[in-house]
Structure formats: C-alpha cells, structure tokens
C-alpha cells in the first residue's frame, strides 16, 4: 500500500499543471481512474464523464499499473497532462520498476489493456485484471468517498520527525489581503509562468509586479496566495507580497517588482563578476534557509515550507543585486511542533495535517528535479524528502550562477548562460533522458578544476557535491549551505583568496 501511494502520488503530481502543455486537437478519449485523494489533480488533464476522460492537453492516454499477486492492478488511468510523444497506438508496458509498469498510447481507450513487451514478460501477470469493473466501481463510489473525505479529519503520514499533536495556531493564515485593483495600470508583460502571466504595473504610486491568473485557475491563485499569507513570510530573500484582488474575471497577486527580472533572464543578459555572483548565491541560499526554517515568534508560528519548484525562472533578481524566491504554486507547508532541527533527526512518529495550501504534491521543473523525484520514489512518510529535493535544486542553481562568473574563468571568453544538463542533453531534455543521465549514470554538471585555485581553503566542488549528492540523506541542509557560502572570500586572486577588509 505504501509503495502504491508513493508511485501513484509522485506520478500524478509530476503530470500535473506544474508542467504546461499546449492544447490538443482532435480530442482524445481515455479510460479514467483515480483515487478520491487525487481526482482533482488528475482531472486537470481534461474533462471527466464517468469512467472517460476527454483530453485537453495531449493526444496521449496513459496508465500506471501495480503488479500484485499475479495481476496488473490499475493505479491511475487517464489523459497525459504533459505534451509528450506517444507513437504506439496500443498500451505497451514499460520495464517493471518496483512492481510497477506504465504506458503511453495514442488511440481512444487504449489504456484499458496492457500489451506486454519482452522486457516486461518476467513480471507479466497470470491473468488480466478486470479494468472495466474497476472503473465502474470508482465511478459509482467516487462521489461518496469524496464527500466522506471532506468531512473526515485525514492525517497523512508525511513529515518524519515532528510531534503528532498540532501546535496552537500552526499555519494559520493572516486575514484576507484583498485590495481594490480598479485603478491599476498594466504596462507590459515581463514573464509567463506555469499558471499565470506577470505584468509590470503601476499601483498606488509605485511600480509593482502583477501575477494574473485566468478565471479557470482560481485554485492555483488561492494556493499561492495562501502561502504568501502565512505569518512570518516577510524576508529579504522572499518576494514581498503586497496584496491580492480581482481584475474583471481574472485573479491577481500584487508583488514587489524585481527590476532585473528572473535569475534566468538576468544571467542571460548580464556578465557577473565575483562580487555580484557572491551576493546572488548567498542571498539565494539565505532565502531558501528561511523558507525551510520554523520558529515561534511573539506567539506566532512559522511552519517549514518546501518550495518544490526551485529553478532560475522562479528566482528573482532585485535592484540591489540580491535574490528573492517566488512562485509558490507548487509549495508544500510542513507543520512541525518543534524546531527545524527535529527534521534532521530520528525520533517521534510524525503526521501532517491538512493546510490551506495542500492539494497534491507538484514536483516542479524537470531540469531541477532530484533523482528520487525523477524516479517517482519519493518517501511520503517523511517531509524531509521535499526539503532534500529543494537542496538538490539549490546545488544546480549555485552551479548555474558560478559558471556565469567572469572572474572564475581562465580565459577572456564571456561566460554564456546554460541550464543544468543543457550541455549534455540540450535545452529541453525528456524525463527518460534525465532519468538515464542523472539517476542511472549519476552524472552531474561539470565543475571546472581551476575553480578551487581561486578559493584557497574552500572547496566549491565539495559544496556543490554535498548539495546534489545522489543520496538525499547525505545532502546538506539549506541552512548549512548558506553558512558555508557565508564563508566564501569577498575577493578572489588567482591562486589564493583574500578577504575584503
């Protein structure tokens, strides 16, 4: 049951709206099956009528099946939510992974029946499961179970080392921050996100950023707004939230304007020396360390928050050259009654309680996904896995920044911004490509050997390797990473490091 939950949730959430896909025509019809807990997320791939889903994003049907007691039991059936290739018209089973097989196919209702390839024969069930019966059962029982789940106090095993008693006022959000946007002035679009587009605008005498969500994505708007509304979310390393409101039929988050745009855009258009790079890496790590921290201050509790979608597109560069985290649409709030140090140990039984921001676990951007998330082997009995995934992504971001530092070059060539694994796999790698390179071959971005000649007494290579270690438990915490970066020299001289007085 635990393995079923792990693969089911990780798969369905990776295929969720965190990874956009273009509209599809003509409409594909796929058999649909999802647990009540994940029905809402699964429905994002298309409209559902009974046991049939009408695809809204791709022409591909997909299926995930668990091999159990000689049978292939469906865990998830429906439309693929990702724009991907599915040349096979029938559902060919993949190579079994931890008693699971999956398939993608390109004809109506093709995910009802599995075709066993040679590589899957060793795990082929002795007789086929009755998928139609399962779908009918879910169709009639789904409504009842959904209603029951809404009135039941569900305690999900998720965070490994926190007390099972919810602390008073934990994760209570502030009062609604709705503001009147009638006199707002939209000036220009500055970015496009997974759920919304971001405008530069003029509001109450100041330039601001306006994240505009269409009416159909109201839940995504509410989820991100509720993260910003959590107490103690004010920090220099987190984009400042100014309010929220409606503009016609659209929903709007009003945020401070980062005049230099996303980190991705900044690195693509600017050459960074050591001083500017140092400020970027240090403030980036400090922001994540604060997000991962929990504390009580003046009777108000700040919970641990896992970002779950760290990338250079979801980090802003402010006018002073510092970083600020943004885009909390995939974030998870992890409630803990003790200090963040409890997350590092092994003690009490743990539980997670429903919060205003919980929906499904959405895993973010492929380039930056940790090996365990790529594999769908996330340990949902521990919230540490999400924090460890963030630190892996942080390691890639630090590499991305350091590669663009002109002072860390031995030649006069202006550094060119590249994404992690772009040199190895190109700008748009597939999940299969990343699984092979990152998980199976355990390849990481190349670290130039001459970097350490600039930082005598401090190993950049060791820092990065400790962030993106294949073993999640061996990775640094965000706070430890921030502390190490704080010890970096303020000035660099080839062959030695000196500190600025």
Integer Cα distance of 251 and 195 in angstroms:
11
| Residue in 161, 309, 390, 469 annotated catalytic | 309
| Helix 384-403 and helix 478-486, axial crossing angle in degrees, nearest 10 | 30
Residue 270's contacts (CB-CB under 8 Å, 6 or more residues apart) are 260
Q: Cα–Cα distance between 442 and 279 in angstroms, integer?
A: 30
Q: Which two tokens stand for residue 221?
A: 């708007």
Distance of alpha carbon 18 from alpha carbon 21, whole angstroms: 10
Residue 325, both tokens: 């985290």
Residue with tokens 């509720």: 226
Tokens 């030649």 sit at which residue?
Answer: 411
Paired tokens of 182: 């009638």
Q: Please identify which residue in the block is written with the tokens 């190349």.
A: 446
- In the chain, DSSP finds a helix count (H) and a strand count (E) of 13, 21
**What is the Cα–Cα distance from 385 to 472, expressed in whole angstroms?**
7
Torsions phi, psi for 210 (to 5 deg): -120, 110
Kind plus residue range of the DSSP H or E element containing 493: strand 491-493
Q: Is 473 considered catalytic here? A: no
Residues 6+ apart with CB under 8 A from 188: 199, 200
Q: How many residues does the chain have?
A: 501
For residues 443 and 457, what is the distance between their CA atoms, to the nearest angstrom? 26
Containing 41, the helix (H) or strand (E) segment is helix 39-42
Neighbours of 37 (CB within 10 A): 17
Mind telling me the catalytic residues?
309
């Amino acid at each position: 049951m635990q393995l079923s939950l792990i693969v089911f949730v990780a798969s369905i959430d990776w295929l969720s709206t965190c990874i956009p896909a273009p509209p599809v025509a003509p409409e594909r019809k796929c058999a649909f099956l999802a647990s009540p807990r994940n029905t809402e997320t699964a429905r994002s791939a298309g409209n559902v009528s009974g046991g049939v889903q009408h695809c809204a994003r791709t022409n591909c049907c997909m299926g995930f099946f668990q091999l159990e007691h000689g049978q292939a039991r469906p865990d998830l059936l429906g439309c693929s939510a990702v724009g991907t290739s599915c040349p096979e018209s029938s559902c060919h089973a993949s190579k079994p992974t931890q008693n699971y097989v999956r398939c993608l196919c390109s004809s109506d209702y093709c995910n009802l029946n599995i075709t066993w390839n040679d590589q899957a024969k060793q795990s082929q069930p002795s007789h086929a499961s009755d998928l139609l019966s399962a779908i009918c059962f879910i169709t009639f029982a789904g409504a009842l179970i959904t209603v029951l789940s809404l009135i039941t106090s569900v305690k999900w095993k998720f965070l490994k080392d926190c007390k099972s008693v919810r602390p008073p006022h934990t994760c209570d959000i502030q009062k609604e921050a709705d503001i009147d946007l009638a006199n707002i002035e939209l000036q220009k679009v500055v970015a496009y996100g997974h759920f919304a587009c971001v405008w530069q605008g003029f509001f109450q005498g100041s330039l601001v950023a306006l994240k505009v969500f269409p009416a159909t994505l109201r839940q995504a708007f509410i989820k991100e707004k509720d993260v910003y509304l959590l107490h103690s979310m004010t920090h220099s390393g987190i984009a400042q939230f100014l309010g929220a409101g409606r503009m016609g039929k659209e929903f709007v988050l009003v945020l401070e304007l980062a005049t230099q745009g996303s980190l991705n855009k900044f690195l693509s258009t600017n050459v960074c020396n050591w001083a500017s790079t140092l400020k970027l890496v240090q403030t980036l790590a400090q922001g994540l360390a604060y997000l991962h921290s929990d504390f009580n201050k003046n009777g108000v509790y700040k919970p641990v928050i896992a970002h779950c979608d760290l990338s250079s597109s979801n980090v802003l560069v402010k006018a002073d050259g510092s970083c600020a985290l943004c885009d909390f649409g995939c974030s998870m709030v992890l409630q803990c009654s003790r200090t963040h140090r409890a997350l590092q140990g092994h003690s009490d039984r743990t539980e997670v309680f429903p919060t205003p921001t919980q929906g499904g676990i959405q895993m973010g951007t492929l380039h930056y996904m940790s090996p365990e998330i790529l594999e769908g082997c996330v340990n949902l009995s521990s919230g540490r896995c999400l924090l460890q995934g963030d630190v892996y992504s942080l390691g890639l971001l630090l590499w991305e920044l350091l590669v663009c530092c002109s002072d860390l070059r031995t030649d006069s060539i202006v550094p060119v911004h590249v994404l992690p694994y772009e040199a190895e796999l190109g700008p748009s790698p597939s999940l299969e490509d990343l699984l092979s390179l990152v998980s199976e071959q355990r390849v990481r971005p190349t670290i130039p050997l001459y970097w350490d000649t600039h930082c005598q007494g401090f190993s950049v290579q060791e820092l990065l390797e400790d962030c993106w270690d294949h073993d999640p438990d061996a990775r640094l915490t965000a706070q430890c990473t921030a502390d190490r970066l704080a010890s970096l020299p303020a000035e660099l001289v080839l062959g030695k490091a000196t500190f600025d007085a």
